[in-house]
Amino acid sequence: MSDPMEEIRASYFVECEELLESLQDGLQQMDDGHDDSETINVVFRAVHSIKGGAGAFGLDDLVKFAHRFETAMDEVRAGRFVPDSAAIKLFFQCADILADLVRAARDDAVIPESITNPVLDTLDEMVGTSEEVEEEIEFAPMVLNLDLGGGGASGLPDLPGLPALSGLPDLPGLPDLPGLPDLPGLPELDSALPLPPASPAGQTDNSGNQLNHFRILFSPENSLYSSGNEPLYLLRALRDLGEIKVRCDTSTLPGLGDLNPENGYLSWIIELSTEENQTTVREVFEFVDGLCDLDIATADDTALIAENAVAPQPELTVTAEPDTSAARLPDLVPEIADILPDVTPEPEVAPALDKEPEPMDTSTAEYDAQSAAGAQSSAKATPTQPRATVRVDLERIDRLVNLVGELVINQAMLSQSVAETSLPQNSPVQTGLEEFLQLTRDIQESVMMIRAQPIKSLFQRMSRIVRESSAMLGKDVRLFTDGENTEVDKTVIERLADPLTHMIRNAVDHGLESTADRIATGKEPVGHVTLTANHRSGRIVIDVTDDGAGINREKVRQIAINKELIAADAQLSDTDIDNLLFLPGFSTADKVSNLSGRGVGMDVVKSAILGLGGRISISSVEGKGTTFSISLPLTLAVLDGMVVQVAGETLVVPLNAIIETLTLTEDDLRALGPQTHVVQIRGGFDPLLDLGAELGYRAPKDSYIGDIVLLIGQEDGKRAALVVDAIEDQRQVVIKGLEASYGRVAGIAAATILGDGQIALILDPVDLVSEATGRTRVPPKHLSIAG
Amino acid sequence: MSLEVLAVDDSRTMRDMLNLALTSAGFTTHLAEDGVHGLEVLDGLEPNVIITDINMPRMDGFGFIDAVRSQEKWRGIPILVLTTESASELKVKARAAGATGWIVKPFDPSKLVKAIKMVAG
Amino acid sequence: MTDNTKKSDTATELLSFLVGGQDYSVDIMSVREIRGSAKATSLPHAPPFVRGVINLRGTVLPLIDLAARLGLETGQDTDRNVIIVVDLGERTVGLMVDAVSDILAIPEEDMQAPPDMAADETHNFVSALTIVDGRMIRILDLNAIMPDQNEEAA
């Protein structure tokens, strides 16, 4: 395994994407009028957590930006700034920049401050924060007078150490201090410490560094104990700094009758010889600063303190151990606890543990990659790890997907050979094979699920596209989304980003009217773009809808004529005209705008969608708006297909494209021209396409009577009848792409390997039909009657 | 024997880093995502130290400390609060809520271990 | 690897083979494997020299009839046809040839550019020539073998 910090860094960026997502969500909710504190908190926390991690990895640009953004959000959280819609818009902008900064940090790129600073300045100005709020008060001393009556800190429970006190009925109280050595715990301390041979105590250590001498007076207040602090550990921390001599001052210890078990009565005088300076020594007391009387004097002043010291106390000499491991130290605790009026944490793991903790290596590990990785893996086994997740290289999953694909093929081959042995239908082999089939499908489904993820991340990217493009065009646009949790193959999501971006830009730019036009036609000034995703009959359908003016078909037609895409007298249905938008080189914008006119037309969108095994269709109502509908396969890896024979070739037709199969009778067929036939099915006429001829395998036949046809349905409701020679089987096939090895083949989606090891091509029926009808349409005099 | 630490933070990155630093130092580490989860994890445990973030969903650090301190068996467990820089009021508030000490984020693993040793040996 | 490579640092190892009765060769570094003939699944609208696609242990490979591609006499398909699987940078294709002949190590100085003659079909595919035992061996320019993405869909 690689460097654990690198792993965490990588997972930090993954977490950032999630945080950015909830940031977007939160801002969207604020924009929708939810100003409850939890919504604002979610936003704040997202920025805060991004900053936190960025700090850990030294991503300064990110920290800086996140910090100022966080400060502004803190103002909102505290109710000192109430954001209006303009402010929320700015927050969105900040979120976008934050996202950019995260990705820049991930990719080691830099985003110039000229981009980030103006936004931050606007933010500061609006919210009323300023940059120099910042000051490091890290370890600044604080004088605290805490009322410890509240917060559940008072009323200490039964002290584990207390019973020991009952063994001291003879304790004569304060004046009789010499009685103290009889306390059960204390005198034993020296012997209780199995100390390693201490390094020879001298004025200088091995490295010859100058030793500093401190005398420390340390008198805890009661609040020190109730805050969970423990003098013993502080003494140990001091011991780790050098050589110490500790004396306990019990002079304020009352008689037992007056002893309040909740109070602390002891103070300590510590002599410390250390290489460290006073600041370091003081740091030991950082947590108890304000909870005790503390006096740290350098050696020169020590005489005075010695004077004030009370009668000789049993000395506790503890020397710094070379090994800082805490492993043996808790042995000490019970003894000390006996005399400390304090709750001491149980040193041992509670026996009531439900599960045995994973055995841990107790030796002090270096903070290096190897031991950390080992420690990490053992920590993974601890039962309390929250929602266990494993990060897996996508390549490994793809390998699994491929293997399962091979399994499917293998299963098919096995089924085929078993079928050829003509075993009885209910033979154990057949039954076993059925179960095998079921299992294979289950495995396949599970494997596919690994690759699936909610489409939400893609939708959020689109919300940014809407914001940016509407700002650039000066249009007021709102994006509505639905079905964000629809799960889609990861690769599909990635490859959808570009076409979808273009479609969204297109909707904002061309779909929606200008604000003035909207007002003029009595529409709401704010344009709506709606992005939805859902599963529909084994496919994923993504709709991009705008409530704009709809497609101006006369204009589209005119442009197509001007560009000689169609003949001037072509008779086209509305759908035909709409589909002209997908022709290469078509652009409806009068003036090439900054946005959509980037040399990318809807034809590119269409081919990207086709490349994903999807299709795209348009529906538009004049004055009401336009919907682009993308339909995609659930997975890129397998499909249910019908295996057919055509002109001696075996082909697979995706099952979900087939509406029905039928055998043609004379009554079904109508000749439309010398080579053009239509099929009459349930009152409708559908074009007849000879698959063998369309694919160039053979010349068109003279007669199709008695032939089998597959009725193919398209997203837009168009249909076509494909002539095949025979239907062989229905089965699941593994998709093997052709494009990488060969290139795109018109009418063919991909290939697959059949049970006999032979390759069969997978038909792209919709592409085939549109290619075929397209050929007959241009020149449009022979317009086919498709649709 | 090794010290047992419960670390509560809603940020996965922070949990990962705490886990790495703590396990590397030889502590037995338990992790939780927020206050509510922290209490669930704590049930049946008696860690030597609890480390908690403040700003968390469902139950924040203050609520969590309060809940821990209100149980007698957990009252003595030292609690270190994770704070970000320049949050002196936060330290005051944390102490008022019953925290024992604090760790400033982003933390340096050696400082983390030092802080734990100051409150739990 | 072989003694031949040690003779000259710039020697290229070539796999030579017969296609359409002529001697050709490819850089052996491009060769992934050699296998017996296989039944190809034909591709619609493909140029005549694309026999179709074959299954190479789960991978779909285009099969090029090299004789047809080079404009040579296409012999009868026999079981003795051999497929040389070659890497062309991003893609892998199978080249159908008559037979594989030899592995040769040719020092760079023994290779010469093809003479600048009137371009016939074959000329475009030959990157260098060499003489071995009195026979002229043509070194194939593999990158010219597969049509461009745009060219092929005709």
Walk me through the domains of chain B, giving residue ranges and CATH numbers: 4-120 (3.40.50.2300)
User: Residue A194 is encoded by which pair of tokens?
Assistant: 């199995």
Q: Domain with C52 in it: what CATH number? A: 2.40.50.180
Residue A11 confidence (pLDDT): 85
> Three-state SS for A654?
strand
A370 to chain C, minimum CA–CA distance in Å? 38
Give yes or no for residue A158 having a pLDDT over 60: no
CB-based contact, B70 to chain A, within 8 Å: yes
Q: Is residue A177 part of a domain?
A: no
Q: Domain with A44 in it: what CATH number? A: 1.20.120.160
> Phi/psi of residue C140, each to 5°?
-75, 140
Helix (H) or strand (E) holding A309: none
Q: Is residue A565 part of a domain?
A: yes
* Confidence band of A151 (pLDDT split at 50, 70, 90): very low
B4 to chain A, minimum CA–CA distance in Å? 8
Q: Is residue C152 part of a domain?
A: no
Same domain, A629 and A642: no
Q: Is residue C91 part of a domain?
A: yes
User: Residue C144 is encoded by which pair of tokens?
Assistant: 């010219």
Q: What is the DSSP string of A218-274?
A: EEE-HHHHHTT--HHHHHHHHHTTEEEEEEEE-TTPPPGGG--TTS---EEEEEEEE
Give contacts of C92 with chain A, Cβ < 8 Å: 741
CB-based contact, A326 to chain B, within 8 Å: yes
Task: Average the pLDDT over each of A386-390, A535-539, B113-117 and give the range with the smallest value.
Answer: A386-390
Residue B24 confidence (pLDDT): 86
Q: Are B57 and A108 a contacting pair, CB within 8 Å?
A: no
* Confidence band of A380 (pLDDT split at 50, 70, 90): very low
Which among B14, B23, B100 has the least Cβ separation from residue A52?
B14
Contact C41 A650 (CB under 8 A): yes
Q: With pLDDT > 70 as the criterion, what percentage of chain B qualifies?
A: 93
Give yes or no for residue A329 having a pLDDT over 70: no
Q: How many domains does chain A have?
A: 5
Same domain, A623 and A672: no
Which among C45, C55, C59 has the least Cβ separation from residue A696?
C45
* Chains linked to B by 3 or more Cβ pairs within 8 Å: A
CB-based contact, A753 to chain C, within 8 Å: yes
Give yes or no for residue A715 having a pLDDT over 80: no
Q: Are B79 and B98 a contacting pair, CB within 8 Å?
A: yes
Q: Is residue A787 part of a domain?
A: no
Q: Is residue A251 part of a domain?
A: yes
User: Residue C61 is encoded by which pair of tokens?
Assistant: 């490979």
CB-based contact, A3 to chain B, within 8 Å: no
Q: Domain with A477 in it: what CATH number? A: 3.30.565.10
Say how far apart CA A651 and CA A764 lie, in whole Å: 11
As a whole number, the mean pLDDT across chain A is 73
Q: Is residue A661 part of a domain?
A: yes
* Chains linked to C by 3 or more Cβ pairs within 8 Å: A
Which among B31, B102, B107 has the least Cβ separation from residue A385?
B31
Model pLDDT for residues A652-699, shown as the tens digit of each residue:
998 877 888 889 888 888 877 767 788 887 767 888 889 998 888 888
Domain containing C72 equals 3-144
Residue C96 confidence (pLDDT): 92
CB-based contact, B23 to chain A, within 8 Å: yes
Contact B96 A151 (CB under 8 A): yes
A554 to chain C, minimum CA–CA distance in Å? 33
Q: How many domains does chain C have?
A: 1
C50 to chain A, minimum CA–CA distance in Å? 10
Give contacts of A744 with chain C, Cβ < 8 Å: 149, 153
A650 to chain C: closest CA residue: C41
Same domain, A612 and A507: yes
Same domain, A759 and A773: yes
Give yes or no for residue A327 having a pLDDT over 50: no
User: Closest Cα partner for A508 from A480, A532, A479?
Assistant: A479
Q: Is residue C65 part of a domain?
A: yes
Same domain, A647 and A749: yes
Same domain, A212 and A335: yes
Give yes or no for residue A462 having a pLDDT over 70: yes
Same domain, A553 and A515: yes
Same domain, A312 and A231: yes
User: Closest Cα partner for A720 from A693, A681, A751, A747?
Assistant: A681
Amino acid at A754: L
Same domain, A556 and A662: no
CB-based contact, A738 to chain C, within 8 Å: yes
CB-based contact, C87 to chain A, within 8 Å: no
Residue C121 confidence (pLDDT): 57
- State which of A77-86, A251-260, A317-326 shows the largest mean pLDDT: A77-86
Give yes or no for residue A183 having a pLDDT over 60: no
Give contacts of C45 with chain A, Cβ < 8 Å: 695-696, 745-747
Same domain, A645 and A751: yes
User: Closest Cα partner for A177 from A263, A258, A248, A270?
Assistant: A248
Q: What is the mean pLDDT of residues A763-768?
A: 82
Which among A409, A696, A761 has the least Cβ separation from residue C41?
A761
Q: Is residue A386 part of a domain?
A: no
Q: Is residue A358 part of a domain?
A: no
Q: Is residue A389 part of a domain?
A: no
The residue among A416, A431, A452 that closes a domain is: A452
Contact present, B and C (at least 3 Cβ pairs less than 8 Å): no
Helix and strand numbers, DSSP H then E, in chain B? 5, 5
Residue A209 confidence (pLDDT): 65
Give yes or no for residue A318 having a pLDDT over 70: no
Say how far apart CA C85 and CA C60 lie, in whole Å: 12
Same domain, A607 and A471: yes
Please, which contacts does A347-353 make with residues 24 or more away whose CB atoms are closer than 8 Å? A347/B1, A347/B48, A347/B121, A348/B1, A349/B1, A349/B4, A349/B28, A349/B46, A350/B44, A350/B45, A350/B46, A352/B44, A352/B46, A353/B44, A353/B45
Task: Average the pLDDT over each of A470-474, C36-40, C117-121 and give the range with the smallest value.
Answer: C117-121
Q: What is the mean pLDDT of residues B60-67?
A: 87
Give yes or no for residue A130 having a pLDDT over 70: no
Same domain, A307 and A270: yes
Say how far apart CA A62 and CA A51 lie, in whole Å: 7
Give yes or no for residue A555 having a pLDDT over 80: yes
* Confidence band of C75 (pLDDT split at 50, 70, 90): low
Q: With pLDDT > 70 as the criterion, what percentage of chain A qualifies?
A: 72
Q: Is residue C66 part of a domain?
A: yes
Give contacts of A738 with chain C, Cβ < 8 Å: 43, 53, 60
Domain containing A442 equals 394-452
